[in-house]
């Protein structure tokens, strides 16, 4: 193990990857350089200067605990992500036996973190529900946004105090800016149904006391104009995914503060 304070940018591992980078840059055609040293050797310190993406974790497998583990690890490295540099939490397991709610959560957060979206299943055998998740136009647009390179990040942990390292309960409330508007994700880490509330005053880019137009990106449904907050009932291991498209016009029929979309994801969980 390297001593505390070791400068990983000067390590032999970093130098080996830089040698390959320079060889690739000398070619006459574009080549995607994706690094893989499984999150070791301090790659977060030098990965963005070396390649287009770098693995930030060990290998994923098609189990819910593995997805939670890698997600929790990667969320602490998002300050290194921007255009041309992506912290890679490994391939997607949608279609490999995890549930539909877990698939929604998995895909939503990999897209929101701007991890490379590498499909890891047999598309000739994938189910309709899983395929629709992989084709979600709003999450794909956020992941590939040509104007905003930064990923979505947590604005509140939820179950635990903010910045808690906990594989079982990663950050549950996220937001990110895109050309489409503000992406808001609310994750339910529990196995039963839970109410979760998006409070505009807590969310970066939104303002207290304002009314905002809200769109449900899973159902492609216009929820409407919501003042101050929105409460949704979310199934176990599922995630509500909202797009805040702008402030409401004065003549909108604004719903009152704390309006609740009753059983907001109930029918989704029954796919």
Q: Do 36 and 157 belong to one domain? A: no
Q: Do 29 and 101 belong to one domain? A: no
Whether the Cβ atoms of residue 180 and residue 152 lie closer than 8 Å to each other: no
Instruction: Report the 10 Å Cβ neighbour count for 33.
Output: 16
Q: Do 89 and 209 belong to one domain? A: yes
Provide the CATH number for the domain around residue 90.
Answer: 2.60.40.1180
Closest C-alpha among 223, 248, 235 to residue 195:
235
The single-letter DSSP state of residue 103 is: H
Look at residue 148 and give its three-state secondary structure: coil
Q: Do 172 and 46 belong to one domain? A: no
**What's the predicted TM-score (pTM) here?**
0.92
How far is 85 from 99, CA to CA, in rounded Å? 30
The pair of structure tokens assigned to 178 is: 């895109």
Interval 118-156: pLDDT, tens: 999 999 999 999 999 999 999 999 999 999 999 999 999
How far is 52 from 65, CA to CA, in rounded Å? 28
Interval 91-102: pLDDT, tens: 999 999 999 999
Interval 161-217: pLDDT, tens: 999 999 999 999 999 999 999 999 999 999 999 999 999 999 999 999 999 999 999
How far is 235 from 145, CA to CA, in rounded Å? 29
Q: What was the pLDDT predicted at 269?
A: 39
Q: Do 96 and 224 belong to one domain? A: yes
- Residue 123 located in a structural domain: yes
Asked whether residue 266 carries a pLDDT value surpassing 90, the answer given is no
Q: Do 96 and 187 belong to one domain? A: yes
Interval 219-241: pLDDT, tens: 999 999 999 999 999 999 999 99
Look at residue 123 and give its three-state secondary structure: coil
């Amino acid at each position: 193990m390297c001593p505390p304070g070791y400068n990983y940018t000067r390590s032999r591992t970093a130098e080996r990857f830089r040698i390959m980078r320079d060889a690739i840059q000398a070619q006459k055609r574009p080549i995607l350089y994706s690094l893989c040293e499984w999150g070791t050797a301090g790659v977060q310190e030098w990965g963005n200067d070396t390649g287009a993406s770098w693995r930030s974790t060990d290998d994923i497998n098609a189990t819910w605990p593995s997805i939670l583990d890698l997600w929790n690890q990667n969320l602490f490295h998002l300050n290194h992500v921007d255009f041309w540099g992506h912290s890679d939490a490994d391939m997607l397991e949608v279609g490999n036996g995890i549930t539909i709610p877990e698939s929604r959560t998995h895909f939503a957060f990999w897209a929101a973190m701007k991890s490379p979206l590498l499909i890891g299943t047999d598309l000739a055998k994938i189910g309709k529900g899983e395929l629709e998740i992989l084709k979600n136009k709003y999450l794909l647009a956020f992941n590939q946004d040509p104007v905003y390179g930064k990923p979505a990040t947590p604005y509140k942990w939820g179950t635990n105090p903010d910045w808690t390292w906990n594989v079982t309960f990663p950050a549950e409330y996220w937001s990110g800016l895109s050309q489409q508007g503000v992406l808001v994700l609310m994750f339910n880490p529990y196995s039963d149904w839970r109410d979760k509330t998006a409070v505009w005053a807590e969310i970066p880019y939104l303002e207290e006391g304002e009314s905002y137009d809200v769109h449900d990106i899973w159902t492609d449904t216009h929820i409407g104009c919501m003042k101050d907050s929105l409460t949704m009932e979310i199934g176990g291991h599922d995630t509500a995914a909202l797009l805040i498209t702008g402030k409401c016009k004065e003549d909108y029929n604004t719903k009152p503060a704390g309006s609740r979309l009753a059983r907001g994801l109930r029918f989704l969980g029954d796919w």
